[in-house]
Amino acid sequence: MIEIRKITVLYPGMKENALNSINLTLQNDDFICILGKSGAGKSTLIRCLNGLQTPTSGEVIWDGLSLSSLNEEQLRKVRREMGMIFQHFNLVPRLTVLQNVLTGMFGYRSSFKNLMGWFTAGEMDQAKQVIQEVGLIDFMDRRVEHLSGGQKQRVGIARALLQQPRVLLGDEPVASLDPGTSDRIFNLLQEMHLKHNLQTVINVHDVQLAKRYATRIVALKDGEIVFDGKPDEFTDEMYVYTYDSFGYSRMPYTVTT
Amino acid sequence: MWFKKRSIISYVLLALFLYISMKLTEFDLSKFRDFRNMIDFLSHWFPMDFSLLPRILKDSLETLAMAFLGSFFSLLIGLPLSFLAAKNTARSPFVYHLTRVGLSFVRSIPEIVFGLILLTALGLGPFPAVLAIMFHNIGVLGKLISELIEASDPGPQEAMKAVGAKSWFASLFSILPQIWPNVLSNYFYRFEVAIRTSLILGFIGGGGIGQRLFNDFKTFHYTAVSLDVLVIMIIVILVDFFGSYVRNRVI
């Protein structure tokens, strides 16, 4: 379970807090979508959860431990239990799908073994298993830069799954994908959420996707939580308020499924 | 639209620098009046004396070995140092600045100075030349590679941190594959430069084909000089081809 207690983040050289004294408790079966304008603090919030960003004040509590009290070694152990996927996929270039997915195990193995690329037959099978799960088994030996955006994100998901994580974090994972591909990626994320009992927290710009897949929506505005509730409670008025949008841009979104 | 009045100052300054530099270097095309002397001189270079070819080849091999060893050791030492000298991978600002200063220091000393200093301890021969090439190139490759590291995409590095890899390993594993083709092309370029450097080092007794060229020159053995020069040209071109071949295979 992750609990966020009054975290504030102020980036150096900025006047306004990126996050302003936020409290949030994530439940175990949550599939949370975080909504908000660009610059509302969504990425910062996600990155605080696995310690990629250290809050200026406040605490992130994971299994009763405050992340800020951990040394680097302990923080690594926390991170390996949290998978993360990214907008730009962040795959290691010039390596194959299989090689990239295997990096998901790095947190559990010695750096020397990682460097030499020594994997046991069991570990290889595990990697192939997750590649199968995301539907890329035929592309296993292909270099990642030769894949489409959707396929790259599937590699990202497979890498995260190989960590056998309890939490899956997504920092705008579909923001550079087309609508159809985004939908399929969210479908896969939902499937993995249910199958592996993964607590899932994802930043997303597409409100329609969020309402369709999330079990809980959190909306951020200017570094503060302005909404936290069930997807169908996120009304048109809430949408207009969150995004400072004009009424007419509600139109594509009100066509709910 | 493109040319602003303000930039006139720059053009005037540029013209001034050109003028001063020409004065200082006695740059004067009319001196080519004596062009015929050069033609006359070069005519003594031919025909090439091919009877010396086996010995020239043996010396060339020594030169290649000097350049290869020197540049390879410099890569071996410079690559890890470059990670300490890059802003995004340095452990602390202190280490970063220290490594940067250290690299500039060894880079600022020309190989020939290293060679002259090392000669006093190690005596004549190719060994001090190898070390001289190595020291200078540690500085050069360390700087060039650290700049590649700084320009690399931070995304994969972040992803490797997020899977729980140790931070030094996350940097190494995510950055090295990105920069590897460029590391190789920098390396091969420095290898090529090292061949030319080892010629100069030959002039101060560093062995190899450089020393032969120097001796042939000093003894007016011009038919050998021409063959030396030809062999050197061929070596440089071959190394260049080999370098681009390897780099293309890697990309």
Q: Are A4 and A25 in contact (CB under 8 A)?
A: yes
pLDDT > 80? residue A248 = no
CA separation for the pair A199, A171 (Å, rounded): 15
Query: Residue A96's beta-bridge partner residues?
Result: A143
Question: Which positions 36-65 of A are in contact with B (Cβ < 8 Å)?
Answer: 50, 52
* The listed CATH number (3.40.50.300, 3.20.20.220, 3.30.465.10, 3.50.30.10) that belongs to domain A1-81+168-178+200-257: 3.40.50.300
pLDDT > 80? residue A47 = yes
Q: What is the mean pLDDT of residues A207-218?
A: 93
Q: Which residues of A touch B164 (CB under 8 A)?
A: 76-81, 106-108, 163
Res A212: pLDDT: 92
Do the strands A199-203 and A167-171 form a parallel or antiparallel pair, or are they unpaired? Answer: parallel
CB contact under 8 A, B155 and A90: yes
* B148: contact with A, CB 8 A cutoff: no
* A140: contact with B, CB 8 A cutoff: no
- Could you tell me the two tokens for A67? 């992340």
* A215: contact with B, CB 8 A cutoff: no
B160: in domain? yes
Res A257: pLDDT: 46
Res A23: pLDDT: 92
B14: in domain? no
CA separation for the pair A107, B159 (Å, rounded): 12
Chain-centroid distance of CA B101 in Å reads 20
CB contact under 8 A, A79 and B162: yes
Res A247: pLDDT: 58
Q: Are B218 and B159 in contact (CB under 8 A)?
A: no
Contacts 24+ apart (CB under 8 A), B56-60: B56/B209, B56/B212, B56/B224, B56/B227, B56/B228, B56/B231, B57/B231, B59/B207, B59/B208, B59/B209, B59/B211, B59/B212, B60/B208, B60/B209, B60/B231, B60/B232, B60/B235
CA separation for the pair A214, A202 (Å, rounded): 9
Query: Residue A245's beta-bridge partner residues?
Result: none
Among B195, B192, B175, B212, residue whose Cα is nearest residue B57: B212
pLDDT > 70? residue A256 = no
CB contact under 8 A, A92 and B163: no
Total Cβ atoms within 10 A of residue A202:
25
Q: Which domain holds residue B239?
A: 53-250
Q: Render B48-92 in DSSP notation, one character per residue.
A: --GGGHHHHHHHHHHHHHHHHHHHHHHHHHHHHHHHHTSTTT-SS
- Could you tell me the two tokens for B166? 């140790």
pLDDT digits (tens, 9 = 90+) for A13-45: 888 889 999 999 998 889 999 999 988 999 999
Res B249: pLDDT: 83
* B153: contact with A, CB 8 A cutoff: yes
B120: in domain? yes
Q: What is the mean pLDDT of residues A183-189?
A: 93
pLDDT digits (tens, 9 = 90+) for A103-121: 999 999 998 999 898 999 9
B81: in domain? yes
Instruction: For residue A252, name the pLDDT band (cuts at 50, 70, 90).
Output: low
Instruction: For residue A244, name the pLDDT band (cuts at 50, 70, 90).
Output: confident
CATH number of the domain where residue B58 is located? 1.10.3720.10
- Could you tell me the two tokens for A154? 């599937």
Alpha helices for chain A (secondary structure H) = 42-49, 72-79, 97-102, 111-116, 121-133, 149-162, 179-195, 207-213, 236-243, 251-254
pLDDT digits (tens, 9 = 90+) for A226-239: 999 999 999 888 88
B47: in domain? no
Res A143: pLDDT: 94
| Ranges of each domain in chain A | 1-81+168-178+200-257, 88-164
With a CB cutoff of 8 Å and minimum separation 6, the contacts of B29 are none
* A166: contact with B, CB 8 A cutoff: no
Res B156: pLDDT: 94
What Cα–Cα distance (Å) separates residue B116 from each residue in A32, B120, B121, B134?
Answer: 69, 7, 10, 14
Query: Residue A19's beta-bridge partner residues?
Result: A9
Mean pLDDT, chain A, rounded, equals 90
Which chain B residue is nearest to residue A111, measuring alpha carbons?
B169
CA separation for the pair A128, A111 (Å, rounded): 22
Res B220: pLDDT: 84
Q: Angle between the B222-250 and B53-84 helix axes, to the nearest 10 degrees? A: 40
- Could you tell me the two tokens for A28? 């175990």
pLDDT > 70? residue A255 = no
Which ipTM was obtained for this model? 0.88
pLDDT > 90? residue A127 = yes
pLDDT > 80? residue A251 = no
Smallest CA–CA separation between A75 and chain B, in Å?
Answer: 8
Residues of chain B with pLDDT under 70: none
Name the burial class of residue B199, with classes exposed (0-12), middle (13-18) and buried (19+) by CB atoms within 10 angstroms of its CB.
buried
Number of domains in chain B: 1
- For B166, the closest of A76, A82, A94 (CB atoms) is A76
Res B199: pLDDT: 87
* Residue reference for tokens 């292909």: A142
CA separation for the pair B107, B105 (Å, rounded): 5
pLDDT > 80? residue A136 = yes
